[in-house]
Amino acid sequence: MSADADLDPPRLGVVVVGAGSGTRLGGVDKAFLDVAGEPMLAHSVAVFESLEVVAAIVLVVAPSRVGEANDVVRRHGWRKVVAVVAGGSSRQASVQNGLGALPEVPLVAVHDSARPLVTGQVILAGVEAATRHGAAVAAIPVRDTLKRVGPDGETVTGTVDRTNLWAAQTPQVFRTERLQAAYAVVGDQAADYTDDAGIVEAAGYPVAVFGGTQALVKVTHPDDLEVVESLIALRGAGARSNTDATAQAALRVGIGYDIHRLEAGYPLVLGGVVVPHDVGCVGYSDGDALAHAVIDALLGACSLGDIGTHFPPGDARFRGADSIGLMRTAVAHLASAGFTPASVDATIVLERPRLAPYIRGITARLADGLGIGADAVSVKAKTNEGVDAVGRGKAVAVHAVATVRGSRAAQ
């Protein structure tokens, strides 16, 4: 998906299923099995939580673990988890319980908590495929030679042609009404199918595949757990290496400025926060002068032009756009050029209203859009002492300084 996908409103509901008994792991509850210091379900939920496209997440766990799952949600501060529900007598019943707890969303992803190494790239590929086809399943082509074994469990009775065979994984992504309709058609026979894609197929709907990964291991046996923990350790080593390289990268500084007229009938949006006032910012997008000044500072630090270059006024894609979404897209442009945001310092010049009650929320929204900690973002508010249009309450102006780390050599 393109970076512009960040401009779309959240539209994906997610059901993370972790209510199984874990029979082949000695009867342990896999969803809460410790994996690299966290319950297994936490690894995949954290990835879904981080994606702009995700609107809501429902966790489905064993009835006896609902309280524990809620504790995990609170500890991590996951804002998109809207419910934790008890599983049913079968996996399919558990999925239906999860679907029933989701708000209205156009797309739904069903994911096994026993696949903790899902990535944002795979999820977004599923969203794109389901948008086009109505139903899509993560899968990889079968690479190994397949043998059919007889009733004795030992004797090979034939070799299976692996041409066009794919191994299904999760997430599986569907248009919500299509998955609901498939469950209605299949009815009591749902338990006969091993995954949701099979139910959709049985109801007569087409299902597409999109690229999964070999790393999307499903933890079923003890040796699967060893593989997953090894992969997590390797990823952690890679992340530490990247962090060390980033720390040594050159620091660059950019300056941004924006000013917007204030008129009645418009919201006053600053840093993604709507500030109650009788006038607001006039603009083609949401008129967020603070976000625009920060975007300009980021682009300037990397010699990537200005905000108008990337988000031209008059382009229909950006009419009424959420400027924090534009900021995320700008950060993606930085990343493709070899840069990452390091810090931001901004000053809002506005005669009224008083902004002190909103500064903390504004700072948090900016930090979220930039992908950096709130301790690396500073937002201050000043008045213009009655001087010029800003001082007369006719406009708001913002000055911003951004630092980035990186180098063109990183491209």
What does the pLDDT profile of the chain (411 residues) look like in tens digits? 333 333 356 799 999 999 876 555 555 688 999 888 889 999 999 999 989 899 999 999 999 999 999 999 999 999 999 999 999 999 999 999 999 999 999 999 999 999 999 988 899 999 999 999 999 999 999 888 999 999 999 999 999 998 889 999 999 999 999 999 999 999 989 889 999 999 999 999 999 999 888 889 899 888 888 888 888 777 665 555 555 555 555 789 999 999 999 999 999 999 999 999 999 989 888 999 999 999 999 999 999 999 988 888 888 888 888 899 899 889 888 887 888 899 999 999 999 999 999 999 999 989 988 988 888 999 999 999 889 999 999 999 999 999 998 865 433
pLDDT at 3: 36
Total count of domains within the chain = 2
Domain boundary among the residues 227, 244, 261 is at 244
Q: Residue 8's pLDDT is what? A: 52
Structure-token match 């050159």, residue found: 250
Cα(203)–Cα(221) distance, integer angstroms: 32
Same domain, 207 and 279: no
Q: Nearest CA to 172 among 144, 219, 147, 205?
A: 205
Identify the domain containing residue 314 by its residue range: 251-410
**249 touches 410 (CB < 8 A):** yes
Tokens at 355, concatenated: 């902004």
Backbone torsions φ then ψ of 195, nearest 5 degrees: -150, 170
Asked if residue 235 and residue 144 are part of one domain, the reply reads yes
Last residue of a domain, one of 220, 244, 268: 244
What phi, psi does 63 have (nearest 5°)? -50, -35
Is the domain of 61 the same as that of 202?
yes
**381: nearest Cα among 403, 365, 363, 366:** 363
**Do 21 and 98 touch, CB atoms closer than 8 A?**
no
Rounded Cα distance between 336 and 310, Å, is 14
Separation in Å, CA 108 to CA 10, 37, 81: 11, 29, 14
One domain, residues 227 and 82: yes
Same domain, yes or no, for 88 and 226? yes
pTM over 0.75: no
What pLDDT sits at residue 6?
39
CATH of the domain at 84: 3.90.550.10
**322 and 390: one domain?**
yes
- 316 shares a domain with 232: no
Co-location of 61 and 111 in the same domain: yes
CATH of the domain at 268: 3.30.1330.50
pLDDT score, position 242? 55
Same domain, 356 and 377: yes
Judgement on whether residues 178 and 266 belong to the same structural domain of the protein: no
Residues 199 and 63 in one domain: yes
Same domain membership, residue 64 and residue 34: yes
CA distance linking residue 28 with residue 200, whole number of Å: 30
Residues 123 and 103: their CA atoms lie apart, in Å, by: 19
Q: Among 244, 259, 288, where does a domain finish?
A: 244
In Å, how far from its chain's centre is CA 125?
Answer: 12
Question: What confidence score (pLDDT) does residue 350 get?
Answer: 95
What distance in Å separates the CA atoms of residue 143 and residue 132, rounded to the nearest whole number? 27
